[in-house]
Structure 1
Amino acid sequence: MRIGGISYRGDMYIKRNHQGMIEAVSLVNTPGFDEQLDLQAPELQAFLNQYRLASLQSLEQSDQAMVRVLEDLIHLLIEKGVIRFTDLPDAAQRKLMTRRELRGQQQGIDLLDNDDSLIL
């Protein structure tokens, strides 16, 4: 297993909560991390996989927020005349247009979901 860019094999020191579940892991025996478990122990692997999943979800949420920031920045640069939309590579133009269309569709769905009456 790789931990912080270092390949690691062997035992890990764990800390358990009041229910007996693993709540933290350490490479070294420090206060509160008294119990050793083999790195391949199913319980330890389940804890590490749950941690990886949570980290991945956080990263994906951050990526989504960053995409929106970049979209807004590109829109602002175009609006201020710093760049032209056509200055962007074709692939970037297509992706931005697709996202704009998807956002427009989502906004339309949100309007209808608010239980508003549609008056013609």
Structure 2
Amino acid sequence: MPYVKRDSSGRIVAVSQLRGDCDEAVAPEDADLAAYLNALGHHPGELVATDQDFVRVLEDVVELLIERGIILFTDLPDSAQKKMLHRQRLRSKLSTSLDLLGDD
């Protein structure tokens, strides 16, 4: 939970992850906090917006490394193997459910 310090007019003038000089707790999605960070040139929403695309890129890279024999699927930690298999199953189900043209 971020903490903020406000000036006499109520505008945020400082932000901290720790309580101290900044003693007012605000939600991470607080509008005043977002405005303050945007004014500083920090756009956390932009980073979050790219996460899904970046995950897909990493997934494709791992699959390419496996296809080329650079790494083995079994080299990945068990948790990573399970997550990759789960995503492959989900994508497989999605691609078959979206077969709009059929086999005609």
TM bracket (short chain): 0.5 to 0.7
1:10 aligns with 2:10: no
**In structure 1, distance between residues paired with 2:34 and 2:7:** 20
**Cα distance change on mapping 1:118 and 1:59 into 2, 3 Å:** same
Distance in 1 (CA, whole Å) between partners of 2:77 and 2:6 is: 46
Shift of 1:59: 2.9
Give the counterpart of 2:93 among 97, 102, 105. 105
Distance verdict in 2 for CA 1:46–1:63, change over 3 Å: closer
The amino acid of 2:10's aligned partner reads D
Residues 58 and 93 of structure 1: CA distance in aligned 2, closer, same or farther (over 3 Å): same
Q: Deviations over 1:7-65 (max 9, x none)?
A: 53215xxxxxxxxxxxxxxxxxxxxxxxxx4138xxxx96436658xx55533331111
Report the AA paired with residue 39 of structure 1.
R
TM-score, normalised to structure 1, is 0.52
Other-structure match for 1:48: 32
Task: Give me the whole-angstrom Cα distance separating, in 1, the residues matched to 2:92 and 2:65.
Answer: 21
Q: Which has the higher strand share?
A: 1
Q: CA deviation at 1:107?
A: 1.2
RMSD: 3.1
Structure 1 unaligned blocks of 5 or more: 12-36
Structure number, greater radius of gyration: 1
Q: Unaligned 5+ residue runs, structure 2?
A: 13-28, 38-42
Aligned-residue offset at 1:105: 1.2
Identity %: 35
Matches within 5 A, 1:35-114: 37-39=9-11, 47-48=31-32, 57-111=45-99, 114=100
Stretches (4+) displaced over 2 A = 45-52, 55-61, 116-119
TM-score by length of 2: 0.59
